[in-house]
Amino acid sequence: MKLERLRPLLGEPLSFEVPPACTCFVRGPSGAGKSLLLRAVADLDPNEGEVWLDGLRRSGMPAHRWRRMVGYLPAESYWWEDRVGDHQAHWPLSLLERLGFGAEVLDWRVSRLSTGERQRLALARLLANRPAALLLDEPVANLDSVNADRVAAIVHAYQQEHGAPTLWVSHGEGRGNASCRGTLWLQAGRAAKLETAWS
Amino acid sequence: MELIPLSPWDLALAATLVGLLAALSWLLHLGIGRRLLIAAARSGVQLTLLGLVLRVLFAQTSPPLLGLMALVMLAVAGYEVMARQQRRFRGLWGYGLGTISMFLSSFTITFLALTLVIQVHPWYRPQYLIPLLGMLLGNTMSGIAIALDNLTRTAWDQRGRIEARLVLGHSWQEAISEIRRDALRSGLIPIINAMTTAGIVSLPGMMTGQILAGSPPMEAAKYQLMILLLIAGGSGLGSLAAVWGGSRRLFDERERLRLDRVTPKRS
């Protein structure tokens, strides 16, 4: 995944590349523009610049196809149907199981889910789309350590299996056992430092 | 039966009722007396002016004058639609969307009603054109105002849900579909209610007027029915156009939800 002079809302242009299956952690104080960076890559806010993924240009395809490809997981998950299962036709049951859910979760009401359950189910909902990249906004923030490890392992396995480059916004130390990792520090909308193991 | 003319004295008698109500409001500290009196005075001035204008218009059947009158009515209705939005679109859209939707629905339906249904000659005969257009505009106005208000308000409140769908690869039409449907439905509720209770609970205004003026009740009923059906068509088509245009405007060419195109809430 390559960002070419991508300029998020309220930010400065950024250019860098994340190779397949690698993770770039995005860190920085609150308000540094971490989430806005992910939103810009997913093309949710007006932004400038170009993003490439698997040799495909963002501007060369309809926005909804692009978003399905880049797999953005917002920090807070939203649900528009009453029942979990109604949100899409296909739910990979093995993935639900690895997240600690049985198939009956599809019959649950969204309103009775805890924040952590919502977050894990949002990951399942996202991965069911088979995105080619992952943009994760604090995916383990509301999880206990068991579930945080589960989620990190699932993300890692997905990256390996699909060669998905990943941007991972994180407040704490970067999680996961990614063998190929880098860190981007943001400060007031601009890249303060970029450390990567790949360049 | 002849219409009994009303003297200024008769009107003054009716006005004392409002005066009494205002006095009561002042006594009970309801704080609505001032607005009540202003509204009553406004309706007095506006209706007197309308009477004078219509007298001129009816006397000469001049198409340019009628066109001007229709445009003024449309302009005021457009402003009223905008004023009733809690969150309106920024820029020209705020005024234009409702106005164009009303123009498309009310003017077309009035024209069709005059030429095909009632078959007036010439079709712009003011005695038919102005009241018909007025009733259609007035009702379409309410429908469109409610539908648009509902659309922008719900989209604002449900931003997270809409974006959750966009993120998962839904197109903008899919992401807004339920909100659009609800907005449209809300725009049609007033006329559906009016048709449901017409003649049982309420004796509609136009029919009342015709009966007072001495028309046979059956004729008045038929006219009223026609008007209700036209209004239903007008509200429906107008709301459809407004909600369609409005929901399109909520997204840009990259299917981003653009709530920055809507103004913040007014207190």
Q: Which residue has the tokens 């490809």?
A: A69
Tell me: do B44 and B169 sit in the same domain: no
Nearest-CA distance from B178 to chain A in Å?
10
Angle at A72 between CA A85 and CA A145, to 5 degrees: 75
What the block records as the tokens of B30 is 């309801």
Element spanning A145, H or E: helix A145-162
Structural domains of chain B, count: 2
Region B56-69: mean pLDDT is 91
Residues of A in contact with B168 (CB under 8 A): 67-68, 88, 125-126, 129
Find out whether A124 and A112 touch, Cβ atoms under 8 Å.
no
Tell me: do B176 and B45 sit in the same domain: no
Please indicate, yes or no, if residue B143 is contained in any of the structural domains: yes
Neighbours of B67 (CB within 10 A): 11
With a CB-CB cutoff of 8 Å, which residues 153-212 of chain B face chain A?
158, 160-161, 163-172, 178
The answer, yes or no, to whether residue B47 has pLDDT greater than 80, is yes
> What pLDDT is recorded for position B24?
93
> Which residue segment(s) compose the domain that B36 sits in?
1-60
> What pLDDT is recorded for position A131?
97
The answer, yes or no, to whether residue B221 has pLDDT greater than 60, is yes
Please indicate, yes or no, if residue B101 is contained in any of the structural domains: yes
| Average pLDDT over all residues of chain B | 93
The answer, yes or no, to whether residue B5 has pLDDT greater than 70, is yes
> What pLDDT is recorded for position A45?
96
Find out whether B247 and B176 touch, Cβ atoms under 8 Å.
yes
B158, B169, B258: residue with CB nearest A67: B169
What the block records as the tokens of A75 is 């920090």
Tell me: do B130 and B14 sit in the same domain: no
Which residues 6+ apart lie within 8 Å of A108 measured at CB? A83, A84
Q: Is B27 exposed, middle or buried (0-12, 13-18, 19+ CB in 10 A)?
A: exposed
> What pLDDT is recorded for position A146?
93
CB contact under 8 A, B255 and A78: no
Tell me: do B154 and B37 sit in the same domain: no
Name the pLDDT band for B67 (thresholds 50, 70, 90): very high
Residues of A in contact with B165 (CB under 8 A): 80
Region B164-185: mean pLDDT is 96
Strand partners, A182: A24, A196
What the block records as the tokens of A184 is 């981007």
Tell me: do B94 and B52 sit in the same domain: no
ipTM above 0.90, yes or no: yes
Q: For the segment B80-113, what is each residue's pLDDT rounded down to a tens digit? A: 999 989 999 999 999 999 999 999 999 999 999 9
Residue-by-residue pLDDT tens, chain A, 199 positions: 999 999 999 889 999 999 999 999 999 999 999 999 999 999 999 999 999 999 999 999 999 999 999 999 999 999 999 999 999 999 999 999 999 999 999 999 999 999 999 999 999 999 999 999 999 999 998 899 999 999 999 999 999 999 999 999 987 665 655 678 899 999 998 988 998 888 6
Q: Pick the last residue of a domain from B41, B60, B79.
A: B60
Whole-number Å distance between alpha carbons of A124 and A97: 10
Q: Is B136 exposed, middle or buried (0-12, 13-18, 19+ CB in 10 A)?
A: buried
Tell me: do B55 and B69 sit in the same domain: no
Tell me: do B51 and B72 sit in the same domain: no
Tell me: do B41 and B172 sit in the same domain: no
Whole-number Å distance between alpha carbons of B25 and A129: 62
> What pLDDT is recorded for position A196?
86
Whole-number Å distance between alpha carbons of A19 and A179: 12
Cis status of the peptide bond prior to B264, with omega within 30 of 0: no
Please indicate, yes or no, if residue B208 is contained in any of the structural domains: yes
Q: Does A63 touch chain B (CB under 8 A)?
A: yes
Whole-number Å distance between alpha carbons of B191 and B214: 27
User: Cα A170 to chain center, whole Å?
Assistant: 11
Find out whether B83 and B262 touch, Cβ atoms under 8 Å.
no
Whole-number Å distance between alpha carbons of B264 and B21: 36
Whole-number Å distance between alpha carbons of B76 and B57: 19
> What pLDDT is recorded for position A69?
96
Q: For the segment B223-240, what is each residue's pLDDT rounded down to a tens digit? A: 999 999 999 999 999 999
Find out whether A3 and A40 touch, Cβ atoms under 8 Å.
no
Q: Which residue has the tokens 């949710």?
A: A44
CB contact under 8 A, B168 and A43: no
Tell me: do B131 and B244 sit in the same domain: yes
> What pLDDT is recorded for position A198?
81
* 3-class state of residue A15 by DSSP: strand
Tell me: do B75 and B102 sit in the same domain: yes
- Burial of A94-116, coded b for 16+ CB within 10 Å and e otherwise, reads ebbebbebeeebbebebeebeeb
Tell me: do B48 and B73 sit in the same domain: no
> What pLDDT is recorded for position B148?
96
- DSSP assignment of B12-62 equals HHHHHHHHHHHHHHHHTT-S-HHHHHHHHHHHHHHHHHHHHHHHHHHHH--
Q: Pick the last residue of a domain from B60, B89, B105.
A: B60
Please indicate, yes or no, if residue B266 is contained in any of the structural domains: no
Find out whether A76 and A51 touch, Cβ atoms under 8 Å.
no
Please indicate, yes or no, if residue B267 is contained in any of the structural domains: no
B160, B163, B169: residue with CB nearest A64: B169
Tell me: do B149 and B171 sit in the same domain: yes
Element spanning A73, H or E: strand A72-73
> What pLDDT is recorded for position B267?
59
Region B104-128: mean pLDDT is 94
Q: Which residue has the tokens 């005059």?
A: B114
- Burial of B148-187, coded b for 16+ CB within 10 Å and e otherwise, reads bbbbbbbbbebeebbbbbbbbbbbbeebbebbbeebbebb
Whole-number Å distance between alpha carbons of A184 and A194: 4
Domains parsed from chain A with CATH numbers? 2-75+122-196 (3.40.50.300)
